């Protein structure tokens, strides 16, 4: 029995064609998703396993991608830790009780057993409806810490970095708690049926190499080591990491996510060909005319040079305004242009 192309590529095994999936493939650009969201709020949708499984599976059915990713949010794990999160329509998420001190870190509660069972149930239900592998995911400790400390999104990450610089002890205590929560959460998703996991360190690119090495890398390494025993491939994703790639690789992961700022061939050489890579089309390229989209897909495939271990994806999530038919153009172009005869 042949492994599905997505899992084979994660393990750098030969594949009949380059597998492709898209971050945020179940999202607002898709009419079927908007129809569900017309009835359910974002958080409500995350917490309704039937609906979360439905949008997960529908995206695969509509697009013909090679992997599903469970519909959820990286911030869900923060709720049982004690964060009061609000997903306000239009704006980004808000955390009403941000972490501002070592005492606040101490007040975080360990995730209670069962608190995130609804995600496990979404995974089980989605698996039942899927013919392609299902990816579980979590936010990485740094990115979660940034939301907890900033109380939401940020451009400068001023509070996060100040916290890190002012009290390294409290910072590492926070990162350790988050790393434990993330590890348990991913293990739960794997136990429920997730066949791969992705760690989203979406905002870690705000750090320079020295800070990454001192304040983030040890916690990521611990997290990936804990996952290694599961035998499930782990994808390590970040954006703005062009100057961090060697360290990101050192931190761990079977597949390194690349954003569109880097040339795929250069980046792969830097992280090493003994690891798989995922990426790296600019999400904005999906607004270009279909011919241009195909040209860009072809270019990325050329840069991957048919080397085993490339999972095609965007460099970040699908943007809400993306034309639906252009998403299809990407998927079809990847399959068509990469098929080994």
Residues carrying an active site annotation: 24, 28, 37, 73, 147
List contacts with a second copy (CB under 8 A): 156-158, 161-162, 165-166, 205, 207-211, 240, 242-244, 260-263, 266, 282-285, 287-289, 292, 299, 319, 321
Of 119 and 286, nearer to a second copy (C-beta) is 286
Of 121 and 167, nearer to a second copy (C-beta) is 167
Of 14 and 209, nearer to a second copy (C-beta) is 209
CB of 280 to a second copy, least distance (A): 8
Reported residue count of the chain is 341
d(CA 231, CA 133): 14
Of 156 and 341, nearer to a second copy (C-beta) is 156
d(CA 156, CA 116): 31
d(CA 220, CA 207): 15
CB of 241 to a second copy, least distance (A): 9
CB of 224 to a second copy, least distance (A): 23
Of 116 and 258, nearer to a second copy (C-beta) is 258
By DSSP bridging, strand 196-201 and strand 134-139 are: parallel
DSSP, collapsed to helix, strand or coil, labels residue 280 as strand
Rounded to 5 degrees, φ, ψ at 278 are -130, 130
CB of 58 to a second copy, least distance (A): 25
CB-based contacts of 204: which residues, under 8 Å, 6+ apart? 140, 142, 143, 212, 216, 238, 240, 241, 244
CB of 158 to a second copy, least distance (A): 6
d(CA 223, CA 266): 27
d(CA 224, CA 219): 9
Contact (Cβ atoms closer than 8 angstroms) between residue 68 and residue 132: yes
């Amino acid at each position: 029995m042949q492994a599905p192309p997505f899992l084979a590529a994660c393990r750098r095994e030969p594949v009949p064609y380059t597998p492709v999936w898209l971050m945020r493939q179940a999202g607002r650009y898709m009419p079927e998703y908007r129809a569900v969201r017309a009835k359910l709020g974002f958080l409500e949708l995350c917490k309704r396993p039937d609906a979360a499984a439905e949008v997960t599976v529908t995206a695969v059915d509509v697009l013909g991608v090679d992997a599903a990713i469970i519909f959820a949010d990286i911030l869900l794990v923060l709720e049982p830790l004690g964060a009061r999160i609000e997903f306000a329509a239009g704006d980004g998420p808000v955390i009403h009780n941000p972490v501002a001190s070592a005492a606040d870190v101490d007040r975080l509660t360990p995730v209670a057993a069962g608190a995130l069972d609804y995600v496990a149930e979404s995974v089980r239900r989605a698996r039942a409806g899927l013919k392609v592998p299902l990816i579980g995911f979590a936010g990485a400790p740094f990115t979660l810490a940034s939301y907890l400390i900033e109380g939401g999104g940020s451009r400068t990450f001023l509070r996060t970095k100040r916290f890190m610089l002012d009290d390294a002890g409290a910072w590492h205590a926070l990162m350790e708690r988050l790393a434990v929560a993330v590890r348990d959460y991913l293990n739960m998703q794997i136990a429920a049926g997730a066949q791969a996991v992705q760690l989203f360190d979406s905002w870690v690119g705000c750090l320079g190499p020295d800070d990454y090495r001192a304040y983030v890398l040890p916690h990521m390494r611990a997290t990936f080591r804990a996952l290694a025993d599961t035998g499930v491939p782990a994808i390590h994703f970040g954006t703005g990491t062009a100057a961090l790639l060697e360290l990101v690789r050192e931190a761990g992961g079977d597949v390194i996510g690349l954003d569109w700022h880097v040339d795929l061939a250069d980046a792969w050489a830097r992280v090493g060909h003994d690891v798989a890579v995922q990426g790296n089309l600019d999400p904005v390229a999906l607004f270009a005319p279909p011919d241009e989209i195909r040209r860009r897909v072809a270019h990325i495939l050329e840069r991957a040079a048919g080397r085993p271990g490339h999972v095609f994806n965007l460099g970040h999530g699908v943007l809400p305004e993306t034309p639906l038919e252009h998403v299809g153009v990407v998927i079809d172009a990847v399959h068509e242009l990469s098929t080994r005869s």
